[in-house]
């Protein structure tokens, strides 16, 4: 889910470590290289899906029963703690907004209708009724651009995406100001097909997050650890909005 072109060498290196670990575990269908999908929905529905990453909200809703949970990554980025992440709620750098109450009536840039980080986390922080107009953008990067241009008054950006764009494309965050972080939720899960080799995937993921040879690769991806959460951890995404955590 964080496949910036600038990060593809790091993703490829991480996969090489995973593929080797899976081969050692007896998983015969681990491909030699990653497939860079342009249609995530088709990828998640593929009967031979071995490993992918999705958002927590679809995991609980549109993809429920259609994919199997494997594990949850822990990221080293502001707004992330342990296996949780938050959304960076951003406004134009010259915005008069000083707190979340000032966002009532704002035009909101949203990356996707089913995005927890880009839509529902902000609903939880402010309330859906506060935003009479949504500007649908298709990506977090496009939402940042919409806010920076003044085409929208606010956007919620996945904290990992916000940190990675700040590192690799500082111009993309230069025109916005961080107003607050949303409440934390479980980070974007790794998944496989129903009946997939969950246990072997978990062992392989634990191996790559402990491999000293992949330390630079993990740092490039902001990947600190991988943990297995309780089956109901993502149920938080079914709950009603609660108060935000201020930046």
Give per-residue pLDDT as tens, 19-41. Answer: 999 999 889 888 888 888 778 88
Residue 89 has phi, psi (to 5 degrees) of -90, 115
CATH of the domain at 135: 3.40.190.10
Instruction: Report pLDDT digits (tens) over 178-215.
Output: 999 999 999 999 999 999 999 999 999 999 999 999 99
In a domain, 12, yes or no: yes
Q: Which domain holds residue 128?
A: 84-185
Q: Compute the average pLDDT of residues 163-179.
A: 97
Residue 243 within any structural domain of the chain:
no
Q: Please tell me whether residues 170 and 216 are part of one structural domain.
A: no
> Does 169 reside within a domain?
yes
Same domain, 132 and 146: yes
Number of domains, the chain: 2
**DSSP reduced 3-state for 141:** helix
- Give the confidence band of 241 by pLDDT, cuts at 50, 70, 90: low
Claim to verify: residue 135 and residue 59 sit in the same structural domain: no
Q: CA–CA separation, 13 vs 244, rounded Å?
A: 37
- C-alpha 125/C-alpha 180 separation (Å) is 9
Claim to verify: residue 28 and residue 107 sit in the same structural domain: no
Whole-number Å distance between alpha carbons of 190 and 55: 9
CB neighbours (10 Å) of residue 6?
13
Q: What is the DSSP letter of 241?
A: P
Last residue of a domain, one of 157, 185, 213: 185
174 and 199 fall within a common domain: no
- Report whether pLDDT(219) > 60: yes
Q: How confident is the model at residue 39, as a pLDDT?
A: 84
Tokens of residue 236, six digits: 């938080």
Clarify whether residues 154 and 123 are in a common domain. Answer: yes
CA 148 to chain centre: 21
Confidence of residue 238 (pLDDT cuts 50, 70, 90): confident
């Amino acid at each position: 889910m964080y496949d910036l072109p600038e990060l593809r060498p790091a993703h490829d290196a991480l996969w090489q470590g995973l593929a080797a670990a899976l081969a050692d575990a007896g998983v015969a269908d681990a491909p030699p290289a990653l497939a860079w999908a342009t249609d995530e929905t088709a990828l998640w529905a593929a009967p031979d899906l071995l490993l992918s990453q999705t958002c927590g909200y679809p995991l609980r809703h549109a993809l429920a029963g259609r994919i199997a949970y494997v594990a949850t990554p822990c990221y080293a980025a502001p707004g992330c703690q342990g296996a949780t992440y938050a959304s960076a709620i951003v406004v134009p750098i010259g915005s008069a907004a000083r707190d979340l109450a000032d966002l009532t009536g704002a035009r909101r840039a949203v990356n996707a209708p089913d995005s927890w980080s880009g839509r529902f986390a902000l609903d939880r922080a402010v309330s859906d009724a506060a935003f009479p107009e949504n500007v649908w953008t298709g990506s977090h990067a496009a939402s940042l651009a919409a806010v920076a241009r003044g085409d929208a008054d606010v956007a919620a950006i996945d904290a990992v995406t916000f940190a990675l764009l700040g590192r690799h494309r500082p111009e993309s965050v230069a025109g916005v100001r961080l107003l607050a972080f949303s409440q934390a939720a479980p980070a974007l899960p790794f998944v496989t097909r129903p009946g997939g080799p969950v246990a072997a995937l978990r062992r392989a993921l634990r191996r790559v997050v402990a491999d000293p040879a992949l330390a630079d690769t993990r740092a490039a991806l902001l990947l600190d650890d991988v943990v297995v959460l309780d089956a109901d951890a993502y149920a938080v995404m079914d709950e009603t909005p609660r108060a935000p955590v201020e930046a």
